Structures are given as C-alpha cells and as structure tokens.
Amino acid sequence: MEVAAPLPSWSIYAILIAQGSIYALLVWFLGRARGKTAETFLSGGRDIGHGMINASVVATWVWAATLMISSWTGYQYGFIGPWWYALGATVPLPLMAYLGRRVRTVMPRATSYPEFMAHRLDRKNHILHSLISTVVSLWITVMIITGGAIMGHAFTGAPFWAIALLMVLIFVSYIPLAGLWASILADTVMSLMLYVCLIIIAVAVLVKIGPGEIWAGLTEVASNRPVLQPATGEAEQLSQWDGLNWLNPAGLGFLVVNIVGNLGAVLCNQTYWSRVIGARDPKTAFKSFMTAALCWWPIPLATGTALGVAALSRGLVVGESYTNGGATIVFTEAEAVAPVMAFLVLGFAGLTIFILAVGSATISTGAGEILAVTTVFVNDIYKGHINPKARDRTLLVASRATLYVVAAALLAVVIFFREIGFSFAGMYQAMGIAFSSAVIPVIMACFVKNTNREGAFWAAIIGSVCGMTYWLATGADLLWGVVWGNIIVLSVSAVIAVTWTIMRPQPFDFDSLKESEGATGG
C-alpha cells in the first residue's frame, strides 16, 4: 500500500512508545508481585475480576483486522457487511463462555487448554493441540503485526521494520514483569481507550455526514452502478451495487468464512483460554465472555458502518486521491478504506485517532498471543515433556526466556513475509481452513464423556487436510473457494469425530480431572 504519508513518522513512534511506557509503569506499580512465581506468571493468580477479564477479552479480540476488515465489509457488501462481520466474529465468544466454565469447573488447576486435552484425552492429542495452539497464536501475531505496521508505514512514512520492531519491543517491555496479569491489565486500559477513539469517529461521521445522506449515497450507487474497484472482478462490483440488500449473497459467504475461521481462532487459542484460567472462578469466566460478546459486537459494527458504509455511499474509488485540509491521501486498496475515511471526516485528528485505535488493538492482541505461545511452550512442552521435574524458579526463567525468543523470531518472520509480499487479506480468510478442524474435537472433549481419543485426533488432522486440499485445488480462491473450504474443514472433522465416538465410545469420568494439578504446580 503506497500512500503519500499525511502524518510525520515520529507520530507513530510517539503513539507506540507512550502506550508501552504507560503499560509498563502501571504493571510495575500494580502487579509486579504476580511475576514472582511461574504459577502466578502463567495463570495471573486465578483471581482476576469480571471487569478486567471482560475488557481483556474485548481488547484481545479486537485486531487490526477488526477495524480494517469490518470497514472493508461495509465498503464491499454495503450496510449488512459490518453486521455479518460482527456476528461471525462474536459467535465464538459465548461458546467460549460455556467451554471455559466447563474446564474451570472440572479441572480448576489447569493452566492451558492443551494441558486439559492431555488429561482428558491422551498424549498424542496433547502434542497435537500444543502444536495447533502455538501455530494459531504465531499466525495471528504475524498477521496483526504485519497489518499494524503496514498501516503505520502507509500513514506516517515510518519504515515497516521500525514499526514492527517497536511493537515487539513493547510486547516484551511489560509482559515479563507480571505475565498474564500484566497482559490483562494492559488490555483493560487499551480496551477503554479503544472505545473512546471509536466513539469519536462514529459520532463524527454521524454529525458530518449523517445517516440520511449515507442512505441517499447508497441508493445512488445502487442505481448508477459506478466502478469503485477497477482492478476487481464483476462479483465484487455487483456486491457493492447491492449495498442496501439484507441478503447480499457475497456478504453471506463472508459470514460463513468469518464464523468458521473465528471459531478456530478463539477456541484453539491459548490467549482466550488464559483469560478463562486467570478469572476468579468459573462463574466470572462465563459472565465475562458473555458480556464481552455484547461489548465486542458493536466495535466492528459501528466502525464498519461509520467508515466502510459511508465510504461506499460517497463512492470512494480505489486508486483515486482525496484531499482534506490541504493534505492528500491516496486510496490504494479497498482494505485501507477505514483510515482513508477517518482522514476525510476528521482530517489529521481522525487519522491519528484511528492509528491509536489500531496500535492499541495490535499491542493488546500481540502481547496476549506471545504470552500464549510462552504458556504452551513452558507448561505443555517444557514441563510436560522435556523437564517434568522443573522447579518453579526454572519455569519462571524459562517463561521469560521464551518470551524474548518468540518475540525475536516473530519479528524476523514478519519482516521476511513482508519482503516476499505475503498477503494480509489472504491470511485472514485462510485462517479457518488452517485451524478450525480442531474445534469439534475440543468441544467434544469438554462435554461428551464418550469421546473417542483416536476420533478426536484424526478429525483435527483429516479435516484440515481435506479443507486445505480443496481450497488449493480452487487456486486459493478468496471468494467462494475459501467459503467451501471452511465448510469442508468443519464438516469433515465433525463427521469423523462424531462417527468414531458413536461406533467406539470411550467413557471418561470428568471427576477424575479435579485431582489433576496444573503442570506448573498448584
């Protein structure tokens, strides 16, 4: 994305450094005691209240993509796009509320979800889910750092690598102080800040353009059929001209991709399980995920409506230049519609607010994901397989060392992917095909006492292979190929796991899990 940078490069550095400093100071003053043992470092002390867990789930579930892609859906599919985006991405949160409450109830001392799978199923499922969880977290972190750094570079002109480096440095500035508690505290601050930023933008669009004018613009687009994305195919054009249709077909396809992809991104992701583990009790975990669903939903909905739908109604054309207050911005790709529109409505202030919001979203999620990788490595791989007799002090040192190593490796991967031109949009939409085959086995392991261990294992593997094979056979198509790929992944894994369990049930006593200590000790 090449845009004449309207903001000075120091602005992104200032935004990121200020945020990192605030989080590090807050964690130091309020929670450094949580970093004294591996147990509290990885589990947050298991006494965090509803308000912080709720805000943390909201912050970690708001990615750069939540703001950028939800606005893109408004621009691409019309008014229904942000509704489908928000619905698809909200579905996993209530589901996680039930799963989290179940796991906290049957295995109160669990530290990670692969650890639960180890005790509930067997060793091979433990290894598989440790790998899946690690890959999910790494994938998401790469995706969000890339997205955040691309946007920062586009609108401030700061080098991509410098922004990515700064983000990673911020992750490792406050997380090593107090682990999970630090991550949740910083998320809380970011979540509250995010709401203020987004309310300012949404209200500004309401006041400066207004829903009546947006409706008139959408009607005009539907009747005049302008070509807003000259480089795309007819299907994309048609969905834009259908911007007032409740049942926009392409938008419905996106809903499927979003539901399936996000199920895997939440249910097979230690970041969200960590919020369950850190909660005061099962009831707090349940309530927090339920309220987080309701508090998260309006974020992409309002942002996508205010920026994406408004941009469609104004007939913004990809490739054109737009000016505001003497400054010019180039709308080079549809995914960048949100910051372009923020700039057109509020000028430099709008762009700065949007960058602040995306920066917060990126830091909160990235820090949580890096900590999740650390938790799985230390709790499940190091303590679980490499050094089962490791003492608490050793685990604490291993946790901090892993954080730094993972952060450095991620930075290298992000810069490498950028160099070879890996697609950000493609990464988001392919997410479900890669991860979501493990969703049904996880749900069955939590609730179905007869779940077959072999069935759960092979369902996760074969489902993903089938979906990936189909998707690649369509030439990695990002419209309907990715929709059917997601459906295949979930269906195949469900059929395998359910059929195997019905044919060869393996009864399990969930009460036996109560005696299981967390791998890091109780």
Partner 1 sequence: MSELWYVLNHWVTIAWLCLAALYAYYAVIADLVVIVRNRKGDNEPGKSKT
Q: Which is nearer to partner 1, 52 or 445 (CB)?
A: 52
Residues 17 and 410: their CA atoms lie apart, in Å, by: 19
Q: Among candidates 59, 14, 71, which has minimal Cα distance to 345?
A: 71
279 near partner 1 (CB under 8 A): no
Q: Which of 14, 18, 25, 196 binds partner 1 (CB under 8 A)?
A: 196
HEC secondary structure over 325-345: CCEEEECCCHHHHHHHHHHHH
Interaction of residue 94 with partner 1, rule CB under 8 A: no
The interface mask with partner 1, positions 36-75, x = CB under 8 A, is ----x---xxxxxxxxx-xx--x-----------------
Where does this chain touch partner 1 (CB under 8 A) — which range of 6-14, 200-208, 223-231, 254-262?
200-208
Does 13 engage in binding with partner 1 (CB under 8 A)? no
# residues contacting partner 1 (CB under 8 A): 50
The smaller minimum CB distance to partner 1, of residues 78 and 92, is found at 78
Each residue 225-264 as x (binds partner 1 by CB under 8 A) or -, in order, gives: -------------------xxx------------------
- Looking at residues 144 to 183 of the shown chain, list those that interact with partner 1 (rule: CB under 8 A): 181
Nearest partner of 340 among 360, 318, 369, 364, judged by Cα: 318
- Interatomic CA distance for residues 513 and 108, integer angstroms: 9
Residue with smaller CB distance to partner 1, 203 or 227: 203
The residues with which 279 forms a beta bridge, in sequence order, are 48
- Pull the structure tokens for residue 362: 């990126």
Q: Which is nearer to partner 1, 78 or 481 (CB)?
A: 78
d(CA 359, CA 167) in angstroms, rounded, equals 9
Angle subtended at Cα 196 by Cα 190 and Cα 201, rounded to the nearest 5 degrees: 125
Q: Per rule CB under 8 A, is residue 130 in the interface with partner 1?
A: no
Among 72, 79, 428, 457, binds partner 1 (CB under 8 A): 79
d(CA 397, CA 378): 10
Kindly give, in sequence order, each residue whose CB lies less than 8 Å from that of residue 359, ignoring residues fewer than 6 positions away: 12, 15, 16, 19, 148, 152
Least distance from C-beta 518 to partner 1, angstroms? 13
Dihedral of CA atoms 267, 268, 273, 275 in degrees, nearest 10, equals: -70
The one-character DSSP state at 306 is I
Residue 307 per-residue DSSP state: I
Pattern 443-472, binding to partner 1, x per CB under 8 A? ------------------------------
When asked if residue 206 is in the footprint of partner 1 (CB under 8 A), the reply is yes
Q: Among 51, 52, 287, which Cα is nearest to 183's?
A: 52
Q: Pick from 266, 58, 257, 63: which is nearest to 151 by CA?
A: 63
Taking CB under 8 A as the rule, does residue 18 contact partner 1? Answer: no
Does residue 315 bind partner 1 (CB under 8 A)? no
Triad 517, 100, 88: Cα angle to 5°: 150
Which segment (105-113, 213-221, 343-351, 353-361) binds partner 1 by CB under 8 A?
Answer: 213-221
**Which of 93-101, 203-211, 403-411, 504-512 is the region at the interface with partner 1 (rule: CB under 8 A)?**
203-211
DSSP one-letter code for 508:
-
Q: Is 521 in the site for partner 1 (CB under 8 A)?
A: no
Candidates 25, 199, 405, 502: give the one binding partner 1 (CB under 8 A). Answer: 199
First to last CA, the chain: 50
| Residue 238, both tokens | 């048609």
Q: Which of 157, 249, 282, 298 binds partner 1 (CB under 8 A)?
A: 298
Query: Is residue 510 involved in binding partner 1 (CB under 8 A)?
Result: no
C-alpha to C-alpha distance for 485 and 517, rounded to whole angstroms: 39
**Eight-class DSSP state of 279:** B
The answer to the question of residue 204 lying near partner 1 (CB under 8 A) is: no
Give me the residues that bind partner 1 (CB under 8 A), please: 30, 33-34, 40, 44-52, 54-55, 58, 79, 82, 181, 188, 191-192, 195-196, 198-199, 202-203, 206, 211-212, 214-216, 218, 244-246, 280, 291, 294-299, 301-302, 305-306
